[in-house]
Amino acid sequence: MIQTMNDKEIWFVTGSQHLYGPETLEQVAKNSQTIVEGFNASSHIPVNIVYKPTVKTPDEITDVCQEASADKNCIGIITWMHTFSPAKMWIKGLSILNKPLCHLHTQFNAEVPWKSIDMDFMNLNQSAHGDREFGHMMTRMRKNRKIIVGHWEVERIQEKIGNWTRVALGWNEFQNLKVARIGDNMREVSVTDGDKVEAQLRFGFSVNGYDSSDVTSHINELSDQQVSELIKTYESEYELADALLESGSKRQSLIDAAKIELGLRSFLEEGGFGAFTDTFENLGELKQLPGIATQRLMADGYGFGGEGDWKTSALLRAMKVMATGIEGGTSFMEDYTYHFTPQKAYVMGSHMLEICPSIADKKPTCEVHPLGIGGKEDPVRLVFNSPPGRAINVSLVDLGNRFRLIVNEVEAVVPMGELPKLPVARVLWDAKPDLEIAATAWILAGGAHHTVYSQALTTEFIEDFAEMAGVELVVIDKDTTIRQFKELLHANEAYYHTFQNYM
């Protein structure tokens, strides 16, 4: 499902001017090509970096910005001022550019060549001040961009560039994403609802409503062979509970679950959807709330939000794209229940069924149990724990006049008990800085109970993503204090009241 990144490009644009003569400009071009070759050879950078000829005049700058904006495969540009490139030349181009921009503040040579440095060298290597002139213009234009400072050959710098290109992939995904809402919102629920028109204006993705009958029509067309093949896959990939085995009392539930997966998959493929929602209150003719189906679709890269939660569904899809090639899973999540001890408090994250097996610690078990709500047949689901380690929880909420992204950094831990009677996948985590502050800040920020939980991504990805979207981001981490967090929320009310520009 995750589309290949082979056709996506980031353009590398070097700025200069004609002041220095052709010899210097020739060297500028050569050096830029060397840097691009270095980036394309780096294992840290997943997107193809495309060298563009040095821009030296306002017209050349405008042209490249126009081309980048119109090119379907170009998902962003990296700019670097090898020499001085007077920034008034960039005004027209930057005002046209509608793709993410990363300002790489680097220098071709790492160190000053003490013995040989002369005025020719000084003419050629001016990024220390050339990039500041360029940066001033972007600040003057209030242009959101990523700034990466350091020598281009350093691994940490290449990693930062690579991660920014992943975020650009996620942003590009938002521009093309179609979210299918199968059924509406869970009745009376607030945070999962919101302004779908404003979301499309701000983020690019579209959200449209469908009925469970749109899925059942696909189920009705399935062949027995398709169903039995998927059952074989279930048997080989998971530990099946006794009741679901061929001779088991609940075998029919497994067959129904497989049909739901195949029907749902076919519906999503036919419509070109990358994300979807459902809700236990609008299941129509579907026999079970999709459990294993949704879990496996998430594992294949689809976004999902429970109870009609289209914002979390879209965000999950974008975050799965951003996480491409990085170790660790990314899943739909919900803060479910707490573990308060005299020493420390933890959150147990889970959902009724729909946790993505990409975060499983080992081969999941496949089980069937009653759901307790919704009045349908018992749904089949994958049950597992998630390994300990660093992760983030991310929420996207609609505040009425704007969207807000909220990140909480967490540390997953091994559950203190076996949980033999809990029939859902789950994660136990220590919320930073501690649950008291984290939950207070989260609630103050209006964060949802639904989140995207990612072991693969760090806060910096979401920071870059928020910049690309031009939306507010608040981070709850080891340094958060409630007093400062409240001040931040107050300041942001004023800031986002003043600046609400689209990219």
Confirm or deny that 450 is annotated as ligand binding.
yes
When the beta carbons of 256 and 307 are compared against Mn ion, the nearer one is: 307
Torsional class of 307: left (φ above 0), alpha (ψ -120 to 50), beta (otherwise): left
Phi, psi angle pair for 41, to nearest 5°: -85, -10
- Smallest gap from Cβ 306 to Mn ion, in A, equals 4
- Smallest gap from Cβ 195 to Mn ion, in A, equals 20
- Smallest gap from Cβ 352 to Mn ion, in A, equals 7
Confirm or deny that 497 is annotated as ligand binding.
no
When the beta carbons of 334 and 467 are compared against Mn ion, the nearer one is: 334
When the beta carbons of 162 and 290 are compared against Mn ion, the nearer one is: 290
- Smallest gap from Cβ 94 to Mn ion, in A, equals 42
> Among 100, 130, 263, 306, which residue sits at the site for Mn ion (rule: CB under 5 A)?
306
When the beta carbons of 349 and 364 are compared against Mn ion, the nearer one is: 349
Q: What's the burial of 210, exposed, middle or buried (CB within 10 Å: 0-12/13-18/19+)?
A: middle
Segment 201-220, which members bind Mn ion (CB under 5 A)?
A: none
Query: Helix (H, G, I), strand (E, B), or coil: what is residue 313?
Result: helix
- The 3-class secondary structure across 163-225, one letter per residue, is HHHHHHHHHHHHHHCEEEEECCCCCCCCCCCCCHHHHHHHHCCEEEEECHHHHHHHHCCCCHH
User: Which range in 194-202, 298-306, 338-346, 460-468 contacts Mn ion by CB under 5 A?
Assistant: 298-306
- Residue sitting closest to Mn ion (CB): 306
When the beta carbons of 62 and 350 are compared against Mn ion, the nearer one is: 350
Alpha helix segments (H runs only) across 393-469: 435-444, 459-469
User: Which range in 26-34, 226-234, 327-335, 410-418 contacts Mn ion by CB under 5 A?
Assistant: 327-335
Report the sign of the C-alpha dihedral through residues 181, 392, 418, 383, in that order.
positive
- Smallest gap from Cβ 62 to Mn ion, in A, equals 48
User: Binding to Mn ion by residue 308, rule CB under 5 A?
Assistant: no
Confirm or deny that 334 is annotated as ligand binding.
yes
HSE-CB of 87 using CA atoms within 13 angstroms: 19
- Smallest gap from Cβ 415 to Mn ion, in A, equals 20
Distance between CA 133 and CA 127 in Å, rounded?
A: 9
- Smallest gap from Cβ 390 to Mn ion, in A, equals 24
Check if the beta carbon of residue 61 is closer than 8 Å to that of residue 106.
no
- Smallest gap from Cβ 309 to Mn ion, in A, equals 7
Those residues whose C-beta lies under 8 Å from the C-beta of residue 285, and which sit 6 or more positions away, are 212, 213, 216
Instruction: Based on DSSP, count helices (H) and strands (E) in the chain, helices before strands.
Output: 15, 19
Distance between CA 483 and CA 491 in Å, rounded?
A: 12
User: Which range in 1-9, 207-215, 326-334, 388-396 contacts Mn ion by CB under 5 A?
Assistant: 326-334
When the beta carbons of 185 and 480 are compared against Mn ion, the nearer one is: 185
Segment 28-57, which members bind Mn ion (CB under 5 A)?
A: none
When the beta carbons of 424 and 445 are compared against Mn ion, the nearer one is: 424
HSE-CB of 189 using CA atoms within 13 angstroms: 18
When the beta carbons of 103 and 311 are compared against Mn ion, the nearer one is: 311
Distance between CA 480 and CA 408 in Å, rounded?
A: 10
When the beta carbons of 426 and 432 are compared against Mn ion, the nearer one is: 426
When the beta carbons of 20 and 304 are compared against Mn ion, the nearer one is: 304
User: Which range in 108-116, 135-143, 300-308, 462-470 contacts Mn ion by CB under 5 A?
Assistant: 300-308
Distance between CA 26 and CA 467 in Å, rounded?
A: 35
User: Which range in 58-66, 159-167, 299-307, 320-328 contacts Mn ion by CB under 5 A?
Assistant: 299-307
Taking Cα atoms as reference points, which of 106, 81, 95 lies closest to residue 143?
95
- List 346's β-bridge partners, or say none: 339
Segment 328-347, which members bind Mn ion (CB under 5 A)?
A: 334
Question: Residue 292 carries which side chain, given as an amino acid letter?
Answer: I
User: Which range in 138-146, 166-174, 220-228, 304-312 contacts Mn ion by CB under 5 A?
Assistant: 304-312
Those residues whose C-beta lies under 8 Å from the C-beta of residue 28, and which sit 6 or more positions away, are 14, 16, 54, 82, 83, 124
- Smallest gap from Cβ 334 to Mn ion, in A, equals 5
User: Which range in 32-40, 218-226, 303-311, 405-413 contacts Mn ion by CB under 5 A?
Assistant: 303-311
Number of residues in contact with Mn ion under rule CB under 5 A? 3
Report the sign of the C-alpha dihedral through residues 178, 180, 184, 189, in that order.
negative
The residue count of the chain comes to 503
Taking Cα atoms as reference points, which of 277, 324, 279 lies closest to residue 304?
277
Query: Helix (H, G, I), strand (E, B), or coil: what is residue 160?
Result: helix
Largest Cα–Cα separation, the chain? 85
Confirm or deny that 151 is annotated as ligand binding.
no
Distance of CA 224 to the CA centre of its chain: 37
- Smallest gap from Cβ 318 to Mn ion, in A, equals 20
When the beta carbons of 135 and 379 are compared against Mn ion, the nearer one is: 379
DSSP 56: -
* Binding-site residue set: 307, 334, 351, 450
Binding site for Mn ion (CB under 5 A): 306-307, 334
* Binding-site residue set for Mn(2+): 307, 334, 351, 450
